[in-house]
Structure 1
């Protein structure tokens, strides 16, 4: 019996977000070695980075629908097992096409992660704590990115890039075992929940049900209803803008440090820790800040909107400036500040889904938003690769990333309004 199993579930999700980014960042960190070994150029690597998101984007949505149907325990457990294997299979790549295919498969397996995590939190936590829980577990992403630098750097230099991918494959497989042992789609039916926590969860569910008006009507809404709501569409586009900066940073910032500032792999691996660490702090704080603003204002959507607009705009300005400064330290500082503000918004997109979408549709709508956001991963890394290949510099790519994020902030500011229907009262701006 576990006295606080719901927070153990959050801890497990925090850990899998770490593993997710450890696996995902491994390719960009080992790029100089793979580039030489497989004789690939910047444009080809841009396509390889983008190929991950073809599979990823599709299975964001498919995974969300599967989560609504089969539950987050099964879907996430299977997804982690598969992506770990495909990550390990990267060690078998022999050239451009084999690497491309493996990245597509890897992306497909990672697709369900956010929708599954959001669905799990929806089952274990009331709305007033959802953003805090999502903020904490999502903070695993930048922490995973931070530890990836020294871990992958050491493994690649000590054993070679191929053994490095095989070793990190095993981490996800171990996590999968713990997840299937501890997780449950319905906490009230789990034998591992203590009686005290069972009573607490039951009380929260009853209070939540009592506060939701026209529950039967809301549950009858299909995906089409929610996909017509401006709040969902703009949130999805804002997540696209968020991901444009994130995937630009994740895919190309290590190579930028090596090519533009002449860092070796060891120095680059440790330098990339800095933005990820401050991003970890930002992501852990974002949901908490939004929940505090809600406690003050009593207006859920307004609390989400304030955090999105201010933080996304600050991230846009900093990333736009980062590519034009001289010296590695100003570049890393500006990129770190950008990632800090960017990650403050990280839990807010999913908190909005929790706020305005009925629990029966949380997985599907989360998957849709994640799909739209992942399209930036198809576009951004390839566009950056073309810019670098054609100009030999990164300046324009940094400015473009900032411009995209600024557009997202403006749309949130001027377009997001309360959704139509019974949910509108609870989340009014």
Structure 2
């Protein structure tokens, strides 16, 4: 059966994969107090488990894109969704810091693979003027997943299984509620595989794509092929070409420098509100504004660059750079966030910063699709995205030092390893408080934009 605009059905499936990805990721965060109590985990244990997840995520990024290119979008996406879903379900068997760390490591290996597969699906199904919007749609899935996760898993963890479903309580043992939360959220990912495997094909092989849609894609590909310096239809790059490409290194460094802003709002902003604005646990539900703003930024960033391409006839890569410049100029608003008093202005200015940060993220992600051959897009996208997680780890380490007392000493193998290498820098910022990070965050995007511009990323230079 032919379905008009079938590409939007495809991106809807990818959107729900991103929702499930972030629900599974945030399950541990949402249930951390309960799980820490049941398993006897300290805050240091929890922090190390989070970093273990990010390390696995980084490792996976380096190889998952190449796997997606080899397996194809359909099978590659399915393999990673199945792997992370099973890993999430197995987390229900954790009984201590080592087992929990192992299962979260496995989750990280699986979850990273969805993003290169998602970008590859966009390159296959969307014309240039719609790609940033499509990436914005599936990126919004991550913010939706992060938003709804607590409302799904906290009630599951609190459900009295011992009273109403004693067989489940007997099977899972102590902590049956949070263990069942991991099982059910992982199971949802396995169910998602059914429609994906049934409907996803290359456009020309799809039974659902109309002739009009196929012509739209063919015309877009032909226009790109004619554009000066276009590389999107070149043969696959070798590893040597990838790691010697100026485009790859510029994009990797751009993500490394700027993605820490978004990681901060995910991992540390609630703690900032608690420490600096005096909010208690129940009042932290106000952080839904963070994810709502992220959704707005994801869609707005993609839509605006599409308008520049369609209405102003600006080349795709150049349109991304114009939107990113606007976003970079907005980011210094973060200085206001840390200096105002009262929750209304704090959250209002925070929303502005997050909208700019996510609009930037959508467009720098679109630059990968614009400037890299489709045949090796997954590989390059995953290598570039590895810069994101490295940046997240650096941010996590810096902010942790900034908000820790000067007398605090590193505890745990990860902490000691980091301090052995970066000790002088961390000791210099230790005890500086959140204000130091907000000032640093204000200018990260401007620095990255200058690097990309003078590196001529918008000229598709290799």
TM-score under structure 2 length normalisation: 0.81
Post-superposition shift, 1:271?
1.6
Distance change in 2, residues 1:384/1:101 (3 Å): farther
User: Per-residue deviation at 1:193?
Assistant: 2.7
1:264-343 matches, within 5 Å, as 264-268=280-284, 270-294=285-309, 295-296=311-312, 298-312=314-328, 314-315=330-331, 317-318=333-334, 322-323=337-338, 326=341, 328-343=343-358
Within a 5 Å distance, the mapping from 1:16-165 to structure 2 comes to 16-158=17-159, 160-165=177-182
User: Across the two proteins, how many residue pairs are aligned to each other?
Assistant: 421
Change (3 A) 1:216 1:405: closer
User: 1:47-70, CA deviations, whole angstroms, 9 ceiling, x for partnerless residues?
Assistant: 221111111111112111111111
Question: Structure 1 residues 206 and 337, CA, compared in 2 at 3 Å: closer, same or farther?
Answer: closer
Q: Contact 2:301/2:323 (CA < 8 Å) preserved in 1?
A: yes
Contact 1:44/1:96 (<8 A) preserved: yes
For each residue in 1:252-271, what CA deviation from the matched residue of structure 2 results, as whole angstroms up to 9, or x when unmatched?
33444456556554442x32
Residue matched to 2:363:
348
Could you tell me which runs of 5 or more consecutive residues in structure 2 were left unpaired when the two chains were aligned. Answer: 161-176, 409-429
* Structure-1 separation of matches of 2:12 and 2:113: 18
Q: 2:204 matched to 1:188? A: yes
Task: Please say if residues 156 and 181 of structure 2, whose CA atoms lie closer than 8 Å, have aligned partners that are also in contact.
Answer: yes
Structure 2 residue 245 is the aligned partner of structure 1 residue 244: no
Instruction: Note closer, same or farther for the CA distance 1:395–1:280 as it changes in structure 2 (3 Å cut).
Output: farther
Which has the higher relative contact order, 1 or 2, with Cα contacts under 8 A spaced 6 or more apart? 1
149 and 402 in structure 1: CA distance in 2 versus 1, 3 angstrom threshold = farther
Could you tell me which runs of 5 or more consecutive residues in structure 1 were left unpaired when the two chains were aligned. Answer: none
Cα distance in 2 for residues equivalent to 1:18 and 1:216? 29
Check 1:121–1:222 CA distance in 2 against 1; reply closer, same or farther (3 A cut).
same
Between the aligned partners of 1:39 and 1:348, the Cα distance in structure 2 is 43
Q: How does 1:193-204 map to 2 (within 5 A)?
A: 193-204=209-220
The answer to whether the 8 A contact 2:56-2:108 is kept is yes
**Cα deviation, residue 28, structure 1:** 2.1
For residue 296 of structure 1, give the secondary structure of its aligned residue in structure 2.
Answer: coil
Instruction: Quote the offset at 1:342 in angstroms.
Output: 0.9
Which of 183, 187, 191 is equivalent to 1:170?
A: 187
- Normalising by structure 1, we get a TM-score of 0.86
Q: Distance in 2 between matches of 1:93 and 1:234?
A: 40
**Whole-Å separation in 2 of the counterparts to 1:49 and 1:277:** 24
Do residues 235 (structure 1) and 251 (structure 2) align?
A: yes
